[in-house]
Amino acid sequence: MKPHFKTLMFSYKERPILLHLIESHYLNHNHKINTMGHLKSLFTILFLIAMSLAVTFAGKIPAIIVFGDSSVDAGNNNYIPTVARSNFEPYGRDFVGGKPTGRFCNGKIATDFMSEALGLKPIIPAYLDPSYNISDFATGVTFASAATGYDNATSDVLSVLPLWKQLEYYKEYQTKLKAYQGKDRATETIENSLYLISIGTNDFLENYFAFPGRSSQYSVSLYQDFLAGIAKDFVKKLHGLGARKISLGGLPPMGCMPLERATNIGTGGECVGRYNDIAVQFNSKLDKMVEKLSKELPGSTLVFSNPYEPFMRIIKNPSSFGFEVVGAACCASGMFEMGYGCQRNNPFTCTNADKYVFWDSFHPTQKTNHIMANALMNSTFPHFL
């Protein structure tokens, strides 16, 4: 199979994003960029590295299989009875064709960019979307459901797909894939595909700290252990179904979401430090669990993918990435609205989402998703070579 190069031919609009990535990397490592010429030289180096990485992966990752919450849901919630939806304007206004798809974003989400970068399709479709079929899902599919979590009690809040149901849909997918590709080829696809899991924020912000149920049963630390146990069981079940390349994602700095800043009364809209501390602690527990579990699962590569630090670099130094607003979102007032709160004709919605880190009070913009996708690919994907 010939290597794919099209995703490496970045447009001039995309190149500043990559330049910001390089600058951020060097600033983070105490290197000083003195001239634009130096920066362009660094871009050339990154371009060659990216080309080498893409060529290496070409043909080796036949599909990306995704589980999780709204960070990776491409529209599954459109087809279940829940209010946790975003299949209406202004969501999707910067997506191909300017149409809302059910992604909680103005455009693409991180997994779409990852798929494109690996030479697969430019987007990863939602499994429940009837406009796609197994021929589309053979190269990538997401079973994710916005507002869900590890904890079944989290998915019950807004009646969305719990993690166990996503796994049931994946089993159904395997049956369809074997019928479409044939048993032998489908087995190869299943074993060589990349499995991405992005979930957990809702368990804390939309469940534990929102309702008295779990917080009356568990301390924060014990609830983290409870969730980590569910994550471990899920990964083991995935492995039992044939998955061999698994990336388990951690939590972002959830205390810096505009919604949490807006409710952090008396601090002038600062990040909620407690929530960020909980994210760091939970990520540490997941990391240790992954390290131990990877030794127990034969013939597999299990990697913990931590979004906290790269996202925090954007929040602490937004101008280095071309952002102007980090504390408020683009949609509506930028403080509280998401989902149906982001109305089509709200006069306060921004005109250029690329200036904002967040699209709504809970979710990043397409530009942020692109930057995060590149950062996580750089730190995680080489482990799967």
| Active site residues per annotation | 70, 360, 363
Half-sphere exposure for 226 (CA within 13 Å, toward CB): 17
Beta bridge partners of 69: none
Termini Cα distance of the chain: 17
Give the strand pairing for 194-198 and 245-249.
Answer: parallel
Sheet (strand 301-305) strand order: 140-142, 64-68, 194-198, 245-249, 301-305
How far, in Å, are 41, 129, 207, 222, 306 from residue 250 at the CA level? 33, 27, 17, 17, 5
pLDDT at residue 96 in the model: 94
Q: For the chain, where are the E strands, in sequence order?
A: 64-68, 140-142, 194-198, 245-249, 301-305, 325-329, 356-358
pLDDT at residue 236 in the model: 98
pLDDT at residue 348 in the model: 87
Both tokens of residue 276? Answer: 């960020």
Look at residues 17, 129, 50, 15 and name the one whose alpha carbon lies nearest to residue 365. Answer: 17
What gap in Å lies between CA 28 and CA 7, rounded to an integer? Answer: 26
pLDDT 10s digit of each residue in the chain, 385 long?
A: 333 323 333 333 344 444 444 444 444 444 444 444 554 554 455 555 555 555 566 668 999 999 999 999 999 999 999 999 999 999 999 999 999 999 999 999 999 999 999 999 999 999 999 999 999 999 999 999 999 999 999 999 999 999 999 999 999 999 999 999 999 999 999 999 999 999 999 999 999 999 999 999 999 999 999 999 999 999 999 999 999 999 999 999 999 999 999 988 878 789 999 999 999 999 999 999 999 999 999 899 999 999 999 999 999 999 999 999 999 999 988 888 889 899 878 888 999 999 999 999 999 999 999 999 999 999 999 999 7
Look at residues 333, 213, 223, 343 and name the one whose alpha carbon lies nearest to residue 285. Answer: 223
pLDDT at residue 51 in the model: 54
What gap in Å lies between CA 58 and CA 66, rounded to an integer? Answer: 19
Long-range contacts of 42-48 (CB under 8 A, 24+ apart): 43/15, 43/18, 43/19, 46/18, 46/21, 46/22, 47/8, 47/10, 47/18
Both tokens of residue 31? Answer: 């290197």
What gap in Å lies between CA 35 and CA 363, rounded to an integer? Answer: 34
pLDDT at residue 336 in the model: 84
pTM across the whole model: 0.87
Both tokens of residue 216? Answer: 């009356």
Phi, psi of 348 (to 5 degrees): -90, -10
